[in-house]
Amino acid sequence: MTITTPKKWRPRNQLFVTALTAALSLTILEAWGQTEDPAAVEVKTAQSAQAIGPETDPAETREPVSISFDELQLFADTFDAIRRGYVEEVTDAELFEMAVKGMLTSLDPHSAYLTDDGYSNLQESTEGQFTGLGIEIGYRGGFISIVTPIDGSPAEDAGLQAGDVILKIDGTSTQGMSTNESSTYMRGPEGTNVTLEIGRAGESQPLDIVVTRGVIDVPSVRSREIDSGYWLIRVSRFQRDSGKEVADALLDALEKGPVNGVVLDVRNNPGGVLNASVEMASNFLDGGLVVYTQGRHPESKTVLEAEPGELLPDVPIVVMVNGGSASASEIIAGALQDRGRAVIMGTRSFGKGSVQTVLPVSETKALKLTTSLYYTPNGRSIQAEGIVPDVVVERAQLTSLEQGRRLREADLNRSLKNTAETQASETEEMASLREDDNQLYEAFTLLKGINVYKRIDAKRSQVTTSELAFPDQTPEEVKALNE
């Protein structure tokens, strides 16, 4: 059965079209005039931001709504046909909300219409505590996909992996579902379960994985000393205070002794607050450009620079990235790579190079709209390309070919003893990394190699024949030469 809008309804629809045109114009003007939450998403302003080009009054650059009367008439006819003919009653308010959601979700995977729950969820995630599964999600092939599980989250404990596709949530298909809608399905009281049907590469059949919801309260920054003077700084996501937390971790390391090298690990870090990545970069750069953004609206064009005064001048740095490193993670990796401040190691990153802005349209609703792309200091766009590491190291399971303890000269009966001090072997932390995380092991090996070469290069330019050991020197004199 086909329902056609009678001609007698056309005058009424034309009034509707006129009212809609006026409403669209007013909404666009008011939305850009609102103040956006500076930490809700990767926003387009920061204290260190400078406008690109001369400041322009947004009112002078606003374009009139260019939609034609015929296009609005099509919308009005469709709206009216659904309202009168759909099998179940749908209110005008519900239809308008569906239309807005459809416009945004059709643009790109990151634009969305935020209602009360969606907006509060977005704010909670940047504050570092919320109740849910603990996953960063995206959109792939019409379904919801997992960009990465958050460190220490229920999702990670349940075995969810980056790249998994969520086919169903408690039996409800996610096909065509927006990321905001899927988040609502997955949120719930602490301690309750949700069953996810997962499609995973290498598996012939979908997997049913039960995840128990919990309070996601994981510190965004953790640090530990892997070897003498070699530190691991793990950043799981970019929250309001992540930049300061990294600074505190580096200062604590300096208090314990000289720092010989740092691995900044942003693998499986989905991003977060843009300003936090700029603040974090200030710990490793002595001022200068970190990232700039460009979009169609004048307010979307900004330059973000590091504060002068890096904490670890001349200390070698390795940044670890992988396919789960997105957005703010790619900003700091790209900045340190372009500025020649760090070696990037791992695998190609996710490739999210867009910035979302929250535009309130009422007291309870807002648009999360992609408003600009960001660019690294060399002018590279990361969008859909990602950061390509300087040294590619795939995650792998390594097995030592030297099984067990091998016989050495010192083990032989009546072997001559060496009176020199025994040189230290690798620490237990390094030995465990070789088996548990080969990528980190290679990163610390590279840092040590950089420092070894620095010492070799310094010796080559400084050592003279008179400084070399002679046969008649005592062990103490030889030791002094090597200090």
Q: What residues are labeled active site?
A: 327, 338, 352
- Tell me the C-alpha distance between 428 and 425, whole Å: 9
Nearest-angstrom CA–CA distance, 110 and 354: 9
Q: Is residue 284 a contact partner of residue 311, using CB atoms and an 8 Å limit?
A: yes
Judge whether 319 and 343 are in contact, CB under 8 Å: yes
Show Cβ contacts of residue 172 under 8 Å, excluding neighbours closer than 6 positions: 185
Range 360-390 burial, b when 16+ CB lie within 10 A, else e: bbeeeebbbbbbbbbbbbeebebeeebbebe
Please list the residues that pair with 298 across neighbouring strands.
none
- Buried residues in 449-479 as b, exposed as e (16+ CB within 10 A): ebbeeeeeeeeeeeeeeeeeeeeeeeeeeee
- The whole-angstrom separation of Cα 270 and Cα 336 is 18
3-state SS of the chain: helix, strand, coil percent to 5?
35, 20, 45
243, 282 contact by CB (below 8 A): yes
Mapping DSSP onto H, E and C, the string for 381-400 reads ECCCCCCCCCEECCCCCCCC
Task: Give, as one character, the DSSP assignment of residue 101.
Answer: H
Residues 6 or more apart whose CB falls under 8 angstroms from that of 161 comprise: 146, 149, 200
Using alpha carbons, select from 128, 133, 125 the residue that is nearest to residue 164: 133
Exposure string over 392-412, b if 16+ CB within 10 A, otherwise e: ebeeeeeeeeeeeeeeeeeee
- The 8-class DSSP code of residue 356 comes to E
